[in-house]
Chain A
Amino acid sequence: MANTLILLFFATLFLGVPVAFTMGIAGITAVLIDGSLNPLIATQRMFAGIDSFPLMAVPFFILASELMTACGLTNALLRFANALVGHLRGGLGHVNILVSMLFAGISGSALADAAGPSAIVMRMMRQAGYDKNYAGALSAATATIGPIIPPSILAVIFAISTNGVTVAGLFLAGIVPGVLLGIGLAIANHIVSTRNGYRGRDSRADFTELRNATLAALPAIIMPAIILGGILLGIFTPTEAGAVASAYALLLGFVARAFTLRGLYDAFTRAAIVTASVFLIVAMASIFAWLLTYLQIPQDLAKAVAGLTDSKIGILLILAGFALVCGFFIDTLPALIILTPVLGPIAYSAGIDPLQFGMMLVLNLTIGMITPPVGPVLFVIAAVGKLRIEALSKAVLPLLFAELIVLMLVILVPGITTFVPNLFGFAN
């Protein structure tokens, strides 16, 4: 049964069946061929996999970022970033990074960033004479900040499948790594820009421009503060925070008279359809993950890894390597759902803080979004910018290197992920 399951999964994946279905098809076929399990287990897991209140943070944060974009705040963020760092060497590159960090405070998804603000800056960079593949690569790399800085869809999904980790705690754990990613990419961008002679805008923004840009972007800039503040003050749970964020975006849109009824309806429809595609993957992956557990594959793997080393860092490095390889071939979300129950227990029994492990895994798999052959963010950027995957992959290498250094820091220094949550009383 285990062989049928895994072979069918890779076969359908390789043949080009949509990723969500590959796991369901492999699961139900293995169950039917084996004959000893009631096939209704597949429908039960499909339902149970998305039958979770904390998971509802996902549609709400998707809705919030749709509404924010619909009322023009994404463009305001862009002008703000440009006024702030546009004059530096490789200025538009830094704008790309900063706008992704700001957008990450609203959105929980790398794809939303890649298709939205990052794609816009990519176009601006190309017009300003940056190499088109570098512009695309930087947009892809910066988009990965989205799921690290809170809110984060991946953090929600990790937290709900792990005892003792709260969504709020994992949100806080992402702040420092998210900022480090930004700094790492900024250094890489500085080096590349120096080498290629990319300049910034001609003059530094004057006070008036800076003030106007700040005021226009302020409603979006304070959104993360509303989300995290509300959670930490006990006004709402992280799930409800998503709904509050959406309500806030609705309010801003109405005040600014930015919505038409049609635009509002489209924003809800789009958020609902994006949610459906995310939930379908979660539902199908839970069939697959349940069967792996049932066949005791994670348990056997845990025994094998535990025999290799007893140093915490050693175990983390092995797990990170394993997750990185999985990230090459499996899409981020299914990989997270499958690996969380498989690798988590190995880490916890070695005494690794679940917050550190969780953030490491999320970062790890997010980096997998910009690596070929399966790199969803690369695909979006390639499609939007009409670039060839091979050329884009080559241009992304220096940026990938910067991100891997941040990953190493997260592995070697537990405080990077645990300090902020501990400060607010989230401890294990």
Chain B
Amino acid sequence: MRALECWIVALNRALVAIVLAIVFAIVFINVVGRYGFNTSFAWAEEVARHLMILGAFAGAGLALREGRLVAIDALPIMLPRRYELALRWAIVAVMFVFMAVMGWLGIRFVEFGWNKETMSTGISRGIPYLAIPIGCALFLVQLAFFAKRFVAQDFEIQAGGASVE
């Protein structure tokens, strides 16, 4: 179980890092192309934009694990430990239901967009819309694995970032 979780987290991290790297490459090459070679690609802007949206929704679960989804903690912290834990479990349940609903609506939205086209590349609008159900599904998986540690507020702090003292 633990190994499975590690694999999923590693894959998820690789996904968002690679997406960001591709987006960065597209935009940077487009600048070089326009300034240096007087050419720019009509598709670059749209592809970069839609990939970034995928990266954003796909990274939501990782942001949760790292405690980057900020919340106002005053009330839970004030409560006696038992009630605090109960409240945090309730928050987990609320997040789970919400993202499940959004994921389901996301699938219907993909269907809705399927017969429309994007402006530049002319692919089906349903394809970029897939970012929502994919992101919600990844979030639900991450939340399922991480729920217990979320309740204990035991977040993963990455080296190099906000780790001072």
Contact = CB atoms under 8 A, between A and B. Distances in A.
**A/B touching: CB–CB < 8 A:** yes
A271 B71 contact: no
B3 interface: no
B102 A43 contact: yes
A43 B16 CA distance: 21
Interface string A253-271: 0000000000101111111
A53 interface: yes
Interface in B118-143: 128-129, 131-132
Given A40-B112, A243-B27, A269-B13, A115 B162 contact: yes
Contacts of B101: 28
Contacts of B88: 16
B75 A28 contact: no
Interface string B54-74: 011111101110101111111
Contacts of A20: 69
B17 A268 contact: yes
A423 interface: no
Interface of B is mostly: helix
B8 interface: no
A40 B20 contact: no
Nearest to A373: B74
A223 to B, nearest CB: 16
Find the residue from A63, A263, A265, A279 having the highest chain B CB count within 10 A.
A279
Contacts of A263: 160
**Which of under 10, 10 to 19, 20 to 34, or 35 or more describes the interface residues of B?**
35 or more
Interface in A242-260: 243-244, 246-247
A53 B48 contact: yes
A50 B53 contact: yes
B52 A56 contact: yes
A132 to B, nearest CB: 11
Contacts, number: 197
A280 interface: yes
A52 to B, nearest CB: 7
Given A16-B72, A374-B72, A276 B164 contact: no
* Residue in B62, B71, B129 whose Cβ sees the most chain A Cβ within 10 Å: B71
Interface in B72-107: 72-76, 87-88, 90-91, 94-95, 98, 101-102, 105-106
Interface in B1-31: 13, 16-17, 19-21, 23-24, 27-28, 30-31
A52 B76 CA distance: 36
- Taking residues whose C-beta sits less than 8 angstroms from the other chain, chain A's interface range is 35 or more
A43 B105 contact: yes
Contacts of A275: 20, 52, 55-56, 59
Contact of B27 (A42, A60, A266, A283): A60
Contacts of A276: 16, 55-60, 62-63, 68
Contacts of B106: 43
Given A43-B102, A268-B21, A280-B60, A384 B129 contact: no
A259 B20 CA distance: 18
Given A16-B71, A18-B69, A24 B161 contact: no
Interface of B: 13, 16-17, 19-21, 23-24, 27-28, 30-31, 35, 45, 48-50, 52-53, 55-60, 62-64, 66, 68-76, 87-88, 90-91, 94-95, 98, 101-102, 105-106, 108-109, 112, 128-129, 131-132, 158-162, 164-165
